[in-house]
Structure 1
Amino acid sequence: MKIALIAHDKKKNDLVQFSTAYKSILEQHDLYATGTTGLKISEATGLQIHRFQSGPLGGDQEIGAMIAQNQMDMVIFFRDPLTAQPHEPDVTALIRLCDVYAVPLATNMGTAEVLIHGLQRGDLFWREIIKSRTGEQND
């Protein structure tokens, strides 16, 4: 499965800790991240991560494009709800796309843990069924 990892500045360390704790699960999947977040996770864990631009420079939109093409299976986005973000419209669009395309989205540690355990159990296999019905390739 393809998993996007995104975190606002004040949440990056939380996502690094999460990725470290669940490295054994994450390493079985294709990982994508926005710039600095991906770098920090990769340096801390050794996980292979495809890095896009940073969020404010278009990384959120690059991940959004993958969602719109049914090429992303899960998004873990640790948002900072207490700090204004200059790219908030991009963040809102990304969340909306997850809803439109039924892509599981976690915006905090609690929900991310539920999704990662579901991923481990195989609860998200329905994403593969959706892709096969729509003719999408799992590349």
Structure 2
Amino acid sequence: MKIALIAHDKKKNDLVQFVMAYQPIFSEHQLFATGTTGFRINEATDLPVHRFQSGPLGGDQEIGALIAKNEMDMVIFFRDPLTAQPHEPDITALIRLCDVYSIPLATNMGTAEILVRGLDRGDFQWRNVIHEKKEK
């Protein structure tokens, strides 16, 4: 599965800790992240992470493009709802694309834990069916 990992500045430490806690699960999947978030996750875990631009410089849009092509299977986006973001329209567009393409999206640690535990149980095998249909 291809998993996008994104975190606003005040949530980066939380996401790094989260990935460290579930490192054995994440190690079985392809990880993608926006710039600094991806760097910090890689530095803390040694997991390979494909890094895009930082969010304000277009990283959210790069991930959104993969979602629109049905090439992303899950998004974990630890948002900071209490701080204004200069790229809020990009964030809104990314969330909308997850809804349009039925991509599982967690915007907080509680939901992310449910998704990751489900991923570990095999609950997202339906994504493989979508990929198989696309290849035909």
| TM-score of the aligned structures, taking structure 1 as reference length | 0.96
Consecutive unaligned residues in structure 2, runs of 5 or more = none
Q: Which residue of 1 aligns with 2:42?
A: 42
Q: Which residue of 1 aligns with 2:85?
A: 85
CA distance in 1 between counterparts of 2:30 and 2:45 reads 15
Consecutive unaligned residues in structure 1, runs of 5 or more = none
| Structure 1 runs, 4 residues or longer, greater than 4 Å off | none
Q: Which residue of 1 aligns with 2:133?
A: 133
Q: Which residue of 1 aligns with 2:14?
A: 14
Q: CA deviation at 1:134?
A: 2.9
Q: Give aligned pairs, total.
A: 136
Q: Which residue of 1 aligns with 2:24?
A: 24
Q: CA deviation at 1:21?
A: 0.2
Q: Which residue of 1 aligns with 2:108?
A: 108
CA distance in 2 between counterparts of 1:10 and 1:125 reads 33
CA distance in 2 between counterparts of 1:79 and 1:125 reads 27
CA distance in 2 between counterparts of 1:106 and 1:56 reads 20
CA-atom RMSD in angstroms: 0.8
CA distance in 2 between counterparts of 1:40 and 1:78 reads 14
Sequence identity, in percent? 74
Q: CA deviation at 1:127?
A: 0.6
CA distance in 2 between counterparts of 1:131 and 1:124 reads 12
Q: CA deviation at 1:104?
A: 0.3
